Amino acid sequence: MRITVCLSQQKPEPWVAGLQAALPGAQVSAWQPGDPPADWAVVWAPPQAFIDEQTDLRALFNTGAGVDALLKLRLPPGLRVVRLDDAGMSVQMAEYVCHAVIRHFREFDGYEADTREGRWSYRKPRSRADWPVGVMGLGVLGTRVAQALRVFDFPVHGWSRSPREVPGVVCHAGEAALDGFLASCRVLVNLLPLTPQTENILNRQTLGRLLPGGYLINVARGAHLVDDDLLALLDSGHLAGATLDVFRTEPLPANHPFWTHPRLTVTPHTSARTLRDESIAQIAGKIAALQRGEPVAGVVDPVRGY
């Protein structure tokens, strides 16, 4: 059994060593052009040349939850793409989103600004009942985020393409339910997969349906958001602010207005990082299961895009 590792912007050696230790009977190596055919591939944003050359692959294991970049490549019909189910990312995402929601709800950003100016200030407490939070996308990450927000007694709504049930969360499903979902939320958290149907879904029309003084948290993909529409809604006052972790161009260009807008919090795509040891253990377990002819979780539907 041969396993090849092809990771853009990451060192492959730790992944090779970890997979070799987890699957001692396999031959594991970092991909080089001209390498012999492999049975399995562990990848992140591989070049098209890798796909074209490795024609005997039984599956591609993506080292992140999002597979949009991978599905843009010309993949052979029938080649399985397998994403990570969690591998430690969902708790990081829940931490990040809860921090962003609570920071805005409790006006800690305002207190931080005041303390920098040496002002001892006070703000009237807000009612959680007036701050319903909506989570777009109820997969593994979105469900964990929605459940975490419920711990802090926020009213939580969830929206997904197909019906889901999450205890304590008001779930909405399908295109027909989107407007009602948005109108019920003051804070919107985006955790949708990026597909042709969801690209640009965060625009003037959809964000304009949020309750007045709405707040956006985008931790999915930058291409979900129409940048100029967000800026216009911030400047009009309909949105009170946003926390953005993902962008159309990364790193975010130095001259982009997001850097300096006073109502924006920007972080460098760090809401949920891939944890290598957990990911290796999960991928190794799935390879072993597929070798035995057993089904595995996380197989991507190329039609849906996730």
Q: Which residues are catalytic?
A: 221, 269
DSSP classification of residue 202:
B
Per-residue burial over 180-209, b = 16 or more CB atoms within 10 Å of its CB, e = otherwise: ebbebbbbbbbbbbbbeebeebbeeebbeb
Cis peptide before 251 (omega within 30 of 0): yes
Task: Give the separation between CA 189 and CA 101, rounded to whole angstroms.
Answer: 9
What are residue 225's phi and psi, to 5 degrees?
A: -105, 135
Q: Which amino acid is at 198?
A: T
**Contact assessment for residue 71 and residue 87, using Cβ atoms and an 8 Å cutoff:** no
Q: Which two tokens stand for residue 2?
A: 């041969």
Instruction: Give the angle 106-183-92 at the CA atoms, nearest 5°.
Output: 50
Give residue 165's Cα distance to chain centre. Answer: 20
Task: Give the separation between CA 171 and CA 202, rounded to whole angstroms.
Answer: 19
